[in-house]
Amino acid sequence: MKTTQSILGFLLSTSLSFLSQADEQARDVESLEALRAFIEVYEHIKGEYVEEIDDQTLLNHAIDGMLTKLDPHSGYLKPRDVSSLRDSTTGSFGGIGIEMDLVDGLIKVITPIDDSPASRAGILAKDIITHVNNETVRDIDLRKAVEILRGPIGSEVELNILRKVDGEAKELTISLERAVIRVTSVKHEILPHGIGYIRISQFQNRTGSDLVKAISKLQSREKLKGLILDLRNNPGGVLSAAIEVVDAFINEGLVVTIKGRDEFLESEYEASNTAVLGQEPIVILINGGSASASEIVAGALQDHERAVLIGTPSFGKGSVQTILALENDYALKLTTALYYTPSGRSIQAKGIQPTIQVSGGEAPVEPDSQVRETDLPKHLENAENADISSDRVINSLTQDNQLLHAYNLLRGSQLLTRSDGPRSLISP
């Protein structure tokens, strides 16, 4: 009871403080009334709810409620969530290896991570996870779902999945063995006729430097006459990595602008004259699974006319989340700004439109079955480099319509070499 009184006292003092500020700023009566209503509801729940709830749990629920109603990407991070976020940026964490989101109370897979237990087990984008170890996860908090899916390395986890096949829902049961997920964010291979292929699966702290190493390795094998940059099903990641990737292809100009509610939150990031591939033509592959940092890279290189984009419209996540440290190792992930491409285009809920729209070959899913930012409730409006098997990539040229289109475009561009600048892929 003493704890309750102290919490209520704090809330009341906050209200009075707010009232004092409101007096100085024309007195925001509506906000004050909302604070009073919150205190009343809190007291009723504490005193009359059918089950006793401790203060910390109730306050955590209140904070979660405030944030989840804002947009899909803001959240209250517990210490383990902070640790998981840190792991994902370094490219090493435990689990089954999927990117997922909560849509209408359903856990939907955005994309499986390359070379993960989920990918090897055949889990696909747009799969709906209904049960984990025979326990329903419908309407469960997304962070709780992540916690359930993660566990001791080598332990088993069973998933019940709904998958749309030929317009009908199919129920599947998939058993996975948890593993350390080491995401190799940059993979590369050389294709016939001196065309390089690089896939970035997500943007980690080392992605920029790993990309430069990959380009160097490709150039050491054969003089590059063009490059395919595959960002399909890349969910994004570290902003600085996206800027470094753009830096590898342009020497000057704006990369991305970040605009918050206030002018002092606006930032512009410029290229740093460190391009390592400044002449060779580039084709970027995107689809509905390309999000956030992927869209920054694609949008910047498209605006600078440095690359041709092939595929389908991207996800449309153009919002910026700031991690604010709180007491006791908790943190607040809060949407604070929006991304804009060099030409001033907002990515949010619009995505990046490909220069050449090519459908098909977006294995594992078709473009119209992918989850995008606009599908999310409360969305805001407007390890070391690794060689990919040469046979795997070359064989995919006969199966992946988008990759084949990109390859043929670059192959044709070899006849259009310009001596005074980057090669043109599309005649004016």
Look-up of token digits 């049961």: 173
How does DSSP assign 118-183, residue by residue? Answer: HHHHT--TT-EEEEETTEE-TT--HHHHHHHH--STT-EEEEEEEEEETTEEEEEEEEEE-EEEE-
Number of CB atoms found within 10 A of residue 170's CB: 10
Cα–Cα distance between 213 and 210 in angstroms, integer? 5
Cα–Cα distance between 292 and 312 in angstroms, integer? 15
Bridge partners for 333 per DSSP: 75, 323
From residue 177, how far is each of 96, 99, 149, 159 by CA, in Å?
Answer: 7, 17, 11, 11
Look-up of token digits 């990759």: 403
Cα–Cα distance between 74 and 69 in angstroms, integer? 9
Q: Mention every residue, 6+ apart, whose C-beta is less than 8 A from residue 361.
A: 399, 400, 401, 402, 403, 404
- Compute the radius of gyration of the chain from its Cα atoms: 24
Catalytic (active-site) positions = 292, 303, 317
Cα–Cα distance between 135 and 127 in angstroms, integer? 17
Bridge partners for 187 per DSSP: 199, 386
Peptide bond into 342 cis (omega under 30): no
